[in-house]
Copies of this chain bind each other. A is one copy, B any other.
Amino acid sequence: MFELLKTDTDTKARLGRLHTAHGVIETPIFMPVGTQGTVKTMDPRELREAGAQIILGNTYHLCVRPGMEIMQHAGGLHKFMSWPGPILTDSGGYQVFSLAKIRKMKPHGVEFRSHLDGTPFFLGPKEAMEIQRILGSDIAMVLDECPPHDGTQKAVRDAVERTIRWAALCREQPRAPGQLVFGIIQGAGHAHMREHCAKALAAMNFDGYAIGGVSVGESEPEMMRAVEITEPHMPPHLARYAMGLGTPAQLVELVARGVDMFDCVLPTRIARNGAAFTRNGTVNIKAAYCKKDLGPIEEGCDCFACKNFSRAYLRHLFNVEEILALRMLSVHNVHCYLKLMQDVRQHIAQGTFGAFRQEFAARYVPSKNLLCYRKQAPAE
């Protein structure tokens, strides 16, 4: 199901094609996050126009609301949210561990209560796969346990062993038609545990592999290192997904380290705070320097927002708290991420990715406060 079309000569960047039940995905790719059955503020047409090939759905959130009875009645997530393209669902594990009010580990899963109203749920490998079967996602993720990035060696080892056991169980569960299942490699910053986990999962022949336990509060160098120590142990002929990452600059660097797939709430979240991504870094649309700026968010950008509206207008909309402001910055930011991935693919294909990476890094001014986003706001 994954075609590795080309590997870059200068870096570990890869050009690929992933075949799913709802369409083909060109990699490297960014997946906009549709936590609660909608990519925040955007409709499916806007997602397609922004270049989205695949989006994410969150098992935990959809399980809490609207619940699986309605998801089943609706015929799955694609129909429910009117998105005909590929969908990847997480297993719900990350949110259970970060959000749920009361958790109790049991041999076959986790007992927890919803963060909203305390409704009791049980999530084990079997349940996680059954939920994802009902959601009908194109790519399901195994239920894993994500240890803290600064956890003790024992805590990390226990999480890795549980992740391996659960992965084996997930592997055996019934799937939706054509549904792919990806394994998740844990191990925090410990090279031998990452290797152990990657090899154990590789032996289970999943359809793709993810690097978990990143974007959980660690520093950027620690995050890069976690990817670097994991990647060599991942099957090269399958798609590789780094979970919950990252900024545009990080994505380019992670592509150079051999990662094919990304998801992140950053583009839509910072949009709602008035920040826009550009190739030069972020722009604060609410800032005084945008007050009379009749130019678009980003010069040369051909997204719907940049084709129609000026910074001055969008700043006004933020000032008067109009929803169109949140929408248009979301449209731009998602487009910005997807266009970046398109450029990355083109440069890998042309053999110019190394130069593009250098040029991009030289031009892009990173925002210091944009790293640990999952920790800052775990509700998304």
Contacts and interface: CB of A to CB of B under 8 A. Distances in A.
Interface stretch (A4-12, A104-112, A185-193, A314-322): A314-322
Given A291-B70, A323-B323, A316 B65 contact: yes
A294 interface: yes
A66 B324 contact: no
A289 interface: no
Interface stretch (A13-21, A33-41, A346-354): A33-41
B70 A36 contact: no
A37 B327 contact: no
Interface in A285-339: 291-292, 294, 304, 308-310, 312-313, 315-317, 319-320, 322-324, 326-328
Contacts of A43: 304, 308, 324, 327-328
A295 to B, nearest CB: 12
A66 B327 contact: no
A366 interface: no
A243 interface: no
A36 B313 CA distance: 11
B323 A326 contact: yes
Contacts of A45: 304
A40 B65 CA distance: 27
Interface stretch (A74-82, A199-207, A210-218): A74-82
A42 interface: yes
Given A309-B82, A313-B82, A38 B322 contact: yes
Contacts of A326: 323
A320 B41 CA distance: 12
What secondary structure prevails in chain A residues at the interface with B?
Answer: helix
B65 A320 contact: yes
Contact of A317 (B37, B73, B291): B37
A313 B73 contact: no
A44 B327 CA distance: 13
A317 B38 contact: yes
A65 B319 contact: yes
Given A65-B316, A74-B312, A316-B70, A322 B40 contact: yes
A313 B82 CA distance: 9
A150 to B, nearest CB: 32
Contacts of A323: 40-41, 323, 326-327
A66 B308 contact: no
A45 B309 CA distance: 12
Contact of A42 (B37, B70, B82, B324): B324
Contacts of A70: 291-292, 312, 316
A369 to B, nearest CB: 24
Contacts of A328: 43
A322 B80 CA distance: 15
A308 B44 contact: yes
A40 B41 CA distance: 13
Interface of A: 36-38, 40-45, 61, 65-66, 70, 73-74, 80-82, 291-292, 294, 304, 308-310, 312-313, 315-317, 319-320, 322-324, 326-328
Of all A-B residue pairs in the complex, the 4 with the closest CB atoms, nearest first, are A66-B316, A82-B308, A36-B320, A41-B323
14 contacts: A37-B320, A40-B323, A41-B324, A43-B304, A43-B308, A43-B328, A45-B304, A65-B316, A65-B320, A66-B315, A73-B294, A80-B312, A323-B326, A323-B327
